[in-house]
């Protein structure tokens, strides 16, 4: 990669997909495509970010996202440091601000943060000089997941406009759904949502989507279906009548997929509850992009770290 690929990147932080224009999103995808090729080489390491340091501050449990960012940083030769909520001074009562200022005093080039509070990434971005990458904050946003989902679909579709995607499951509590709706509709995808009424967000009628409560109707003619994790704790909260009833009505099965377009794709951001959200047959079928999403995640996060850490410093970077 050369300097011209980062010179025009205007963002110090990545907080939400809403801050990205279509042109910036496609530029990020092109950068990820370059790094995707590196990930297929026998030696999957380049010196691009040698000397840069990235703190992985995950105050919520994570396997895929944290490992993906760790691998992305290391493949670009950055030094990555992991910090979990249970191993930080947060458990001793330290505020998020003081934890962040302590980290900044160590002069990292970026902090990747996952936190249960919506707005945590924005909070840090307004106070710290280094780049902040939102790896999921509360129910608000999960921009890197949406970017890797869209990148995975672009590799299959070639273009977005005119395509139809159904997002199925617990929409109300999903930051993945919010970010995907935001990004994919901007790229020209027709997005449908399907869930029980109790798992639809308040105000969904104002979103630029079609809303369904019938699984078969929602996938009819779709080019792809994305299943979301059913947060089983919602059952205890009385938002689901019965897990078996939910699975009967909303588990994506081969029979339901016969109503989608021929060769329609299946996605799931994980972790999966097989037999609850998606049948094992579909999860492991040729049309499944679930492992493609994982592979794309490393390349997209390499692109995110590269664009944010290698852009020229500008006055007034702190938001």
Annotated binding site for L-aspartate: 92, 175, 229
**Residue 9: φ, ψ to 5°:** -70, 115
Report d(CA 218, CA 213) in Å as an integer: 8
Q: At 3, is the secondary structure helix, strand, or coil?
A: coil
Known binding-site positions: 64-65, 92, 114, 142, 145, 175, 229, 270-271
Q: Are 83 and 91 in contact (CB under 8 A)?
A: no
Of 313, 305, 262, which is closest to residue 110 (Cα–Cα)?
305
Q: At 181, is the secondary structure helix, strand, or coil?
A: helix
Q: Are 240 and 234 in contact (CB under 8 A)?
A: yes
Known binding-site positions for carbamoyl phosphate: 64-65, 114, 142, 145, 270-271
| Strand residue runs (E) in the chain | 53-58, 79-84, 110-115, 131-137, 164-168, 190-194, 210-212, 224-227, 265-267
């Amino acid at each position: 990669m050369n300097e011209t690929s980062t010179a025009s990147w205007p963002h110090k932080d990545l907080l939400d997909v809403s801050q990205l224009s279509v042109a910036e999103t496609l530029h990020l995808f092109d950068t990820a495509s370059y790094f995707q090729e590196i990930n297929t080489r026998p030696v999957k390491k380049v010196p691009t970010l040698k000397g840069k340091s990235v703190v992985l501050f995950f105050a919520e449990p994570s396997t895929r996202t944290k490992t993906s960012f760790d691998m992305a940083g290391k493949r670009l030769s950055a030094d990555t440091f992991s910090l979990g909520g249970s191993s930080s001074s947060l458990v001793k009562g330290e505020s998020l601000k003081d934890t962040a200022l302590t980290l900044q005093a160590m002069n990292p080039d970026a902090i990747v943060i996952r936190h249960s509070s919506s707005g945590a990434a924005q909070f840090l971005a307004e106070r710290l000089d280094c780049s902040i990458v939102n790896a999921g904050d509360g129910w608000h946003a999960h921009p890197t997941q949406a970017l890797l989902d869209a990148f995975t679909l672009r590799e299959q579709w070639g273009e977005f406009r005119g395509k139809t995607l159904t997002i199925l499951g617990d929409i109300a509590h999903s930051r993945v759904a919010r970010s995907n709706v935001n990004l994919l509709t901007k790229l020209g995808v027709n997005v449908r949502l399907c869930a029980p009424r109790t798992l639809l967000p308040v105000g969904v009628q104002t979103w630029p989507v079609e809303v369904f409560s019938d699984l078969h109707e929602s996938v009819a003619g779709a080019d792809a279906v994305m299943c979301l994790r059913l947060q089983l704790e919602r059952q205890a909260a009385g938002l689901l009548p019965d897990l078996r009833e939910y699975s009967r009505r909303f588990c994506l099965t081969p029979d339901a997929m016969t109503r989608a377009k021929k060769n329609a794709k299946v996605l799931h951001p994980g972790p999966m509850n097989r037999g609850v959200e998606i049948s094992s047959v579909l999860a492991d079928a040729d049309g499944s992009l679930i492992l493609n999403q994982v592979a794309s995640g490393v390349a997209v996060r390499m692109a995110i770290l590269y664009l944010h850490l290698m852009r020229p410093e500008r006055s007034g970077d702190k938001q």
